[in-house]
Amino acid sequence: MNEFLDKLQKIRSGFFSRMRLLFLLDLISIFSIFYALLIIFQTEYFLEKSSLYLPIPINFIPPAIAFIIGIIISLLLHKNDKKINLNLLIENKYPDLKEKLRTAYDNRTEANIIVDSLKDNVSAALTTVSSSHLLSAGKTVLKILITIVFISGVTVVSLDPGKYSIPPEVITNFSTTITGAPGDALNETFKIEGRPEDSEKMGTSGGGDIYGKPKIASIEGKNIDLTIYQGMGTGFTIKEASQQQNQFIKSAAFPVDVLGANVSDGGYSLLMKKTEAEKKLIEDYAVERSKI
């Protein structure tokens, strides 16, 4: 293998080692964030109250969840690391190798005076190349500081979870406010606005209204108001009616003998004209008929 390829491989190994360090720092930071959140939101408490079958102890579940989330997010953040063109990156950092490094690498299997001379020049220039210079020092230091802050935060929270955790009843009440209590949809009541036969005016605010348009009945030529007025409690109070309205006509009293004889109003005058003996006979006949 050419000498410049050996140096290039060492630079590549050092560069991707530092990229793995950045991946690890991101993983630790994300894990710390989510583990602290799981502690604050009482994940263990709600897992204990649930009916789920858990094959591992509950206290291992929050860190496991946080670790899985950290792995997924870190992989997404570093999914293009392997696609970095290291040769182009070196050329951008070291202008003396501009286009020379890529030309030598593309002709690494060739052997002639010109190519060999180019490889020797590139190999000598690679001696000054450091993999640590290929990454931004400020970016690396910033990631290290952020990771230290998050590790310190999750350590404080995990050592005294009762101080930083949200009470379970607060979380439950907040969840109920957002999603609604179970069974609310089953406890809805309906209100009929207007006439009860108008089903399109039904609502959900409760109550009802059965007092529609008054109905009028006619008895012996007089109109009678049959309106039902709203009352209090379980009963109702009839609204005081005017003495000049809705008056009933009292029918004339019939004598007992007329009722017993079962005669109509039209036959009353004829009955009065009969003698006492005839009246007695009719009355006896009516009594006997009633016994059949």
pTM listed for this prediction? 0.57
Per-residue pLDDT of the chain (292 residues; tens, 9 = 90+): 478 888 999 999 999 999 999 999 999 999 999 999 999 988 888 887 777 777 878 888 999 999 999 999 999 999 998 889 999 999 998 988 889 999 988 888 888 889 889 988 988 988 888 888 888 888 889 999 999 999 999 999 989 888 888 887 777 776 666 665 555 545 555 454 545 445 454 444 444 445 555 555 555 556 665 555 555 455 545 555 455 555 555 555 545 444 444 545 556 667 777 788 887 888 887 887 777 6
DSSP 220: T
Looking at residue 142, its pLDDT comes to: 92
Looking at residue 11, its pLDDT comes to: 92
Looking at residue 36, its pLDDT comes to: 93
Looking at residue 249, its pLDDT comes to: 54
Residue 164's identity, in one-letter code, is: Y
Same domain, 143 and 233: no
Domain that holds residue 285: 255-292
Same domain, 43 and 143: yes
Same domain, 74 and 105: yes
Looking at residue 144, its pLDDT comes to: 94
Q: How many CB atoms lie within 10 A of CB 66?
A: 22
Cα distances (angstroms) measured from residue 208 to each of 103, 191, 192, 195, 283: 89, 5, 5, 10, 56
Q: Are 190 and 201 in contact (CB under 8 A)?
A: no
Name the domain count of the chain. 3
Looking at residue 206, its pLDDT comes to: 47
Same domain, 154 and 230: no
Same domain, 33 and 129: yes
Same domain, 24 and 52: yes
Whole-angstrom distance, CA of residue 34 vs CA of residue 61: 12
Picking from 248, 263, 280, the residue at the C-terminal end of a domain is 248
Picking from 152, 179, 206, the residue at the C-terminal end of a domain is 179
